[in-house]
Homo-oligomer: A and B are copies of this chain.
Amino acid sequence: MLPIPFNTLPQLALKPKNLRKGEVLFRQSDPPSFLYFLRTGHIQLLRHTEAGDGIVIHNAYGGQTFAEASLFSGNYHCDAVACEASELIAMSKIQILKTMRQNSLFAFALSARFAGEIQTHRRRLELRSIKNASQRVYAAVADGLLTGSVITMAAEIGLTHEATYRALSQLTKEGRLVKTRRGRYHVSSTKVSTTG
């Protein structure tokens, strides 16, 4: 149930935890003892400016891990608050570090996981750099982001769902995408001529 390689951790390293909406998971100043896997819900990580403004560092949703950096740090770098009721699994920092030391395969797998996340994040960032809505949607579909609903993808790529629907429609008209059924599209395999 946990993502690789956390699924190989001993039970004693894991501690289920449930939060009600609004509950605080940890504070910036807390010594970090856990890395978290969020099964369901929504956790927001926040920092605060000198003036007290909260700045969202990250929104974690079901299926994601967070606070990885705390593994190697003496304090959390932000506050974590449950925006919705959330089910988590707390994974012991000490146990993870111990496992890394004792089992180089685990260390490899952890690095592999991190490297994969870096790659994914870079792709997402590059996607967000595409200003034009149609091109962004095309790149997103090409990247395999349209697996669930269009609304979900729209949120992922930073567009409104209306703009995304319009882009999907236009790209289909242009022949760059193929609509297989309502709400399902894939990239066309044939080159679109630019001269008409």
Q: A: which residues have CB within 8 A of B?
A: 47, 49-53, 55-59, 68-69, 71-72, 77, 97, 100-101, 104, 107-108, 110-112, 114-119, 121-126, 128-129, 138-139, 142-143, 158, 176, 187-192
Minimal beta-carbon separation of A69 from chain B (angstroms): 4
Select A68's contact among B69, B71, B119, beta carbons within 8 Å. Answer: B119
Contacts of A176 in B (CB 8 A): 51
Q: Are B123 and A69 in contact (CB under 8 A)?
A: no
Contacts of A52 in B (CB 8 A): 191
Contacts of A189 in B (CB 8 A): 50-51
Contacts of A100 in B (CB 8 A): 104, 107-108, 111
A117 to B191, CA, bound (A): 37
The 3 A-B pairs with the shortest beta carbon distances in the complex, nearest first, are A114-B114, A121-B121, A72-B112
Q: If the complex has contacts A51-B191, A107-B107, A108-B100, are A115 and B58 also in contact, measured as CB distance less than 8 A?
A: no
Q: If the complex has contacts A58-B126, A59-B126, A128-B128, are A115 and B188 also in contact, measured as CB distance less than 8 A?
A: no
